[in-house]
Structure 1
């Protein structure tokens, strides 16, 4: 058999369509006329049947229309039919917001799926606040799942603006879209009570609805985000709120508000903020390590912008710990700094605190939680399965200006609102760091007490890490399996560290910069191999910075202090460490120099 070549010409296909289009415009060789709305469109059966499943079936061998000279399509408009025919003859589909409904109707009716897909892409690409409600109804009516999901998402993101500028459009929204929007986990800048009012107004505008559908709609509202006084008023505001299902949800919301300290561990969808956990809170710290600010900064991981909470810290604290549990912020212990002197100057008498403050972002308020059993500063704090652990630290006696380190561990029983004793460490420790891995707690470094004794202790040579001035920081790593009552040794770090940080990312623990270290090395711990590995160092040493772990696994360092021309200065830099690529880079700058801040991730309303 002789070989041969098979070649393809794209210009032939284009020319073929151009030829048909020319014949159609000149009304030559047309063998069928399509009619709608008093307008006639001469066409070619062969092209229609090859491009549309509807016409393929219409012109089949056993149909009455296969030889008809004229076909009436009363369900379509002339504008819609003309646009689809232009597409079949040229490959170009003309769309605009006014013509889209008619074109989509014609494309759906005539089963031209390619034109339908183009319409769906047109909707998705052109979504904005002014058209999202209209497009959502169109997508729902024509079963366009991708466009519908995109339109519903746009409505949720633009809800604040829509409530002010296009409430009528929201009231005309189809029920499937409204339920999807009320299911959204992120609706920026809108209070839940406004969503409840919208749903009740929608029921008035579109009702009466069957009880089941009314309940399906209202059950997507989060009554736990509404203040008690408003809940009481809402329960009598509309007949739809009086159904057994909705009344039970209102009752559970009122019960949640009465839980007090147990609220963080009794979270549900009904009480969770409609916000993504993409905010880093920078709690405390200031331009000077001796004079911390009470303002709380927030950092948006998406747009990398800073803002401030409207409500600042109740106390001026330094060397405190922070964490988040169940959508609440906890600020624990630390040293309370007060202004002193008759002249009101910024003197800094300090007293170590055992107070715990809880911030509720739902109502932007602070309240005092159960106090720790001991006063602590420069201690470690971590969260395991919604339980807060406070580990070691030191407290200062202002009357004698002496510092006492502790080995004790305590944990917060949120159900009872009290702290309880845990397994004490082998010796008192302060300036250490902690991390959680495999439901166990790792503690590294710090300055131990001379009176303690643990066999095979591993010390570094970095003096000056504590205020007593006669002890050295440690390379030691301890592990506490929470199912046991003892602390065990693990492989020591390669560098003695004090005032450093640890973070868990992708199953590994990272130990980062501390104070009084001669190096800027980063280390990574593999718990299965019980081994530390040196990573790429930061080029410039830093201490007293804030550390946050992003959902993607990067580490962010906020501010801190570094040496410059023989003195320590506070910096504004925000550094990112890519744990996958072992790479550092500066991503932005703080609004002002900041040192001594503590960080945690927390969902916040816009």
Structure 2
């Protein structure tokens, strides 16, 4: 006799859940529990409640009277939010808006519906901007949601200048609020110049009542770490300073005091030069702005190397594989080695102040082995830490940080572009259920305006295909754009500092393509001077840096050049300190004031 093994789990589960929901609404006699809020009775099933809520699991499964009475009265709870939560656990659908999320999250936290909490927190994380980051930070702290508070806090300090540009935010701040913000370790990490500008912006909102706070607030600034050029520009150009003699004198007094301090990092020659600059501060602006030491806090290029030419040809592992480059001094400095060797196809992404390297592949006896391993580089301690492995091995994939989460895209399967996300709070990886709608090969991705833009070569298509993932709504979209470039080999892309442009290059061309996400249009920038293969691309300030090598006259050259987005011109930055057959780069914020070594 034949044996039929019938199985249709998804459809069966959906029908069962739909039936339970219909009975809950239309036939409450089939329900075995009720929740009463504001004289409204919500019928439901004990097993479904306990499955989704630890609060009700303890209530019904314990010795509380609600368990024996088969009903619970919940006071001081929003009935509309509870209805939305119950509808969700029976249907899997939940609508979250900016007006409903706060109340919905509070109810979910009180009644311990963890899935709803996760959805609301993720929604709020992707709503963070300059106008609400401080409010969301305090909201997250008040509800004991560290991952939300952490994301809002890091966003605030990464864009502190923009936050203090928002008049509606700054006008309600007290002096104590400003002091708390500026005394935080993250404020110091982003530089003293940003702190001073934040103080001046806060005072400028209401000069009549806030000028008297300049003296105590100025003590939160480490004046020895300000560049002379910045201070002089502030004295000459900032309206609050130029219009107020007392403020100008206060700034000059602080700077001169810092120069006389034995702890200042300036040399005696630099101090003499800065003093002479201040002596002519009211007589000769151009001369005063000509000198002075650099700020101790600056954005630098971090290069992480994989397979080197020496490793490939001679098995030589003596070459360092992590280098840091200062665009202000044009010098390189060796950093602690990344523990991996001989890898290609790994991805590097800035993650808060640190850097995460994910995946990669090695070749053994002509076979390629992809890696799950991930490493985190601590830019302050100059040290490496192993993170939890990704869900799938990946190579030649992309990664980028979006609102405090690290997304890795593709590189695991040949038939789809999947994605997983790393949370610093849970220290774990989770798969994104929805794959990109179009399969692309030879792809690259970057974050822009809180979304992930994926560009790659389509199957049987001569032009690049563009897709966008919005983490706020967990949804992919495929969109068309005029003048989209043709397919590129090994494409790389990065986003400008103001997130108004995405720069795209390939290793088979010197052409540079520029995408405007606001107008959805493509244009061309000036061509690069050289071809760059197996390298990286990143932005530092107003410049786009491209690294990578190419073969020329039977020799291998690894070079770097930079594109100035204001002058629209490329400049050569010289050869890389070592030869890599594969490497990539990203930017970091460093306060390393020690002299960088020339190589």
TM-score, with length taken from structure 1: 0.47
* Bigger Rg over Cα: 1
TM-score, normalised to structure 2, is: 0.47
